[in-house]
Structure 1
């Protein structure tokens, strides 16, 4: 048991995508990868995660839980560096589960000058050996996957699942985006839920892939292939909260039909505005609050002399906007200067959606839809029509805070 306190706080981060500094020389090949990394920061994650650990040592949450894609593309050295950084935690446990980019990822690379070179991949055994501090906290482990359970306090049981599809040897191709909870792990999960029920513990689920569809236009490969089976277990055992990642977007979905479960996805830590979730459990509720990490107080004196590090969210937004601009400007009519307002609209809509700040009034939405920029966007990019209309929410729902009552 991690804590004897009935009122316990833990933090959630996801999709940190750390690539160890030792795997690149900041040369031509690495800069190309940074420019095509879909808005991820690859340059400063060692600094950011080290600062995050310093904040944890000051504020002392009971645990930090990482819901997958710990590494950039499954480089063994990146996992070792991640563990080295988080080994500095003093009063906080680090609990991790793998994402689709972590185990036997054929894209694992190191970068030298203008070359991409193969890097050693992470095996399932490597994962458990490197993150032994996490698995040492386990109440129980699944022998057929990297899933394990941890008792948080006298009332809550954490179930950290392995939703990824990987082989038994190093891979040569791209990692599989889709995932599922395998048959044997599903049996293990049911036993854990039975244990929680018989011991009057409230189960909280953690996994990389999603339980629900979070965007009706873009969801293939993100939702578990066997999500209905997991939802059935959630219904049977009254699982009220699931935490996941994978989509890089801040999104919360409440209970659906017969499923009593709220699913909370925190946006990627290496993108946007360095989001993390603060979760407070009590005898009567689980409360989640999305926070933005301000790392300036936890930088060294030398690091504070670096403009990028002291204006890090500005830097992250520029990376994201540059990524979206490149995607929108390549070989199509929107590249023309007269379409810059259209590009700006597309970029801002995406940014607001991925950070969870996408709630506007119906009148604001109608004004947006009738604007010249939006109409031009639909005309020039008809294939985006359905997606664009999913980016704003006019309901009273929020993606930033959730309180689940017991």
Structure 2
């Protein structure tokens, strides 16, 4: 079966999918609430045993609370049932490494929201499709398990909304979804296996056709992608910003699309570039377990505000996991320097504090205090040639305020 034929099957599934009884869209100019979450990296519990190989995986990873991914998703679902947004938007990296079983289990969990009248719209991330790293972990062993292709992804998630897609791109899993009578969501897929990380020219032509019609119909458009559509920082651009993003930004600007929601970096950050505001929500699986609440007023002014999962045990475990990861990385990096144990400890603790604030989007609020820290001068003097020294310096220099909230008129 050719790749394009498979994508066509996936598109048909999305167009025809939905719950048995279609719901009624919110009326024109009716206030709306949506929730955006990203980078869940859910790993089905059947795929690990908390054994030696799995624990080594956790220690070598980037600070995700993978061992509690089941509890994280369950807590998120419960909070959504309490909030009752009109829609939940998930912008990719739904699974740890694209395991088919993880996708299937996650879809069943999300079905609870659909049954409660909450539409769930999903898009794949770079971890979710055709992933050769999909594995299970048992004792000291890691074993390859089945991943999914685009058609299987669409089939697994097709019943999570009572409002079928308006249009789907035959070349990717991009689609146009209805959020209200006057609001539509453009989901942009840049994760085709044959050209990962790229918004292809074919997909851009499809996007332009959708935007042209939406403009004629006086629709307000929000867009959603996994990779960023703006260059957020010097350290998080290459490999994080979608290739082709500049032409996509120009296209969105032409049709007055003002905001895109993304993820991928795991860092909470808001960046405006060439007229487009790209709101990168930090990973739901990394401290502080963020998701974003999006409200649209009757005049279609958008308000975005981060919230964190409310479970204090998950919060403390996520911070501990992330901080331990940072400490291990910093300890290893500083071993090459001739420092006293006290100097090394001070540099590590400052790096831990700064990394927490980088990922939760609050570093700029503490720049004056950091500048007065003796450990900051140690990093600048002794650690300036290390990768982590350059990382902390770059993130400190580029830190901006208000990464956790924004108000933006969409008309």
TM-score, normalising length: structure 2? 0.87
Is the partner of 1:382 in helix, strand or coil? coil
Q: Give the structure 2 partner of residue 133 of structure 1.
A: 159
Q: Is 2:172 the counterpart of 1:145?
A: yes
Is the partner of 2:363 in helix, strand or coil? coil
Aligned length: 377
The one of 24, 38, 44 equivalent to 2:62 is: 38
1:148-205 CA deviation, whole Å, 9 max, x = no partner?
A: 11111122110011111414xxxxxxxx9x6121121111111111111010001111
Whole-Å separation in 2 of the counterparts to 1:33 and 1:23: 13
Q: Is 2:392 the counterpart of 1:383?
A: no
Q: Give the structure 2 partner of residue 353 of structure 1.
A: 358
Deviates more, 1:45-54 or 1:272-281: 45-54
Trace 1:7-406 onto structure 2 (pairs within 5 A).
7-89=31-113, 90-134=116-160, 137-167=164-194, 179-254=197-272, 256=273, 259-282=274-297, 283-295=299-311, 310-330=312-332, 331-333=335-337, 337-338=341-342, 339-360=344-365, 363-364=368-369, 366-367=371-372, 371-378=373-380, 379-384=382-387, 385-392=389-396, 397-405=401-409, 406=411
* Residue 329 to residue 366, structure 1, CA distance change in 2 (3 Å): closer
8 Å CA contact 1:361–1:394 kept in 2: the answer is no
8 Å CA contact 1:217–1:386 kept in 2: the answer is no
Whole-Å separation in 1 of the counterparts to 2:183 and 2:385: 48
Whole-Å separation in 1 of the counterparts to 2:33 and 2:109: 21
Is the partner of 1:195 in helix, strand or coil? helix
Whole-Å separation in 2 of the counterparts to 1:180 and 1:119: 26
Is the partner of 1:197 in helix, strand or coil? helix
1:351-381 CA deviation, whole Å, 9 max, x = no partner?
A: 10110111236643542xxx43122223134
Whole-Å separation in 2 of the counterparts to 1:29 and 1:205: 39
* Residue 393 to residue 276, structure 1, CA distance change in 2 (3 Å): farther
8 Å CA contact 1:218–1:387 kept in 2: the answer is no
8 Å CA contact 2:98–2:131 kept in 1: the answer is yes
* Residue 396 to residue 215, structure 1, CA distance change in 2 (3 Å): closer
For structure 2, the 5+ residue unaligned runs are 1-23
Is the partner of 2:304 in helix, strand or coil? strand
Q: CA RMSD in A?
A: 2.0
* Residue 335 to residue 275, structure 1, CA distance change in 2 (3 Å): farther
For structure 1, the 5+ residue unaligned runs are 168-175, 296-309
TM-score, normalising length: structure 1? 0.88
Whole-Å separation in 1 of the counterparts to 2:140 and 2:91: 33
Whole-Å separation in 2 of the counterparts to 1:362 and 1:35: 30
Q: CA deviation at 1:346?
A: 1.0
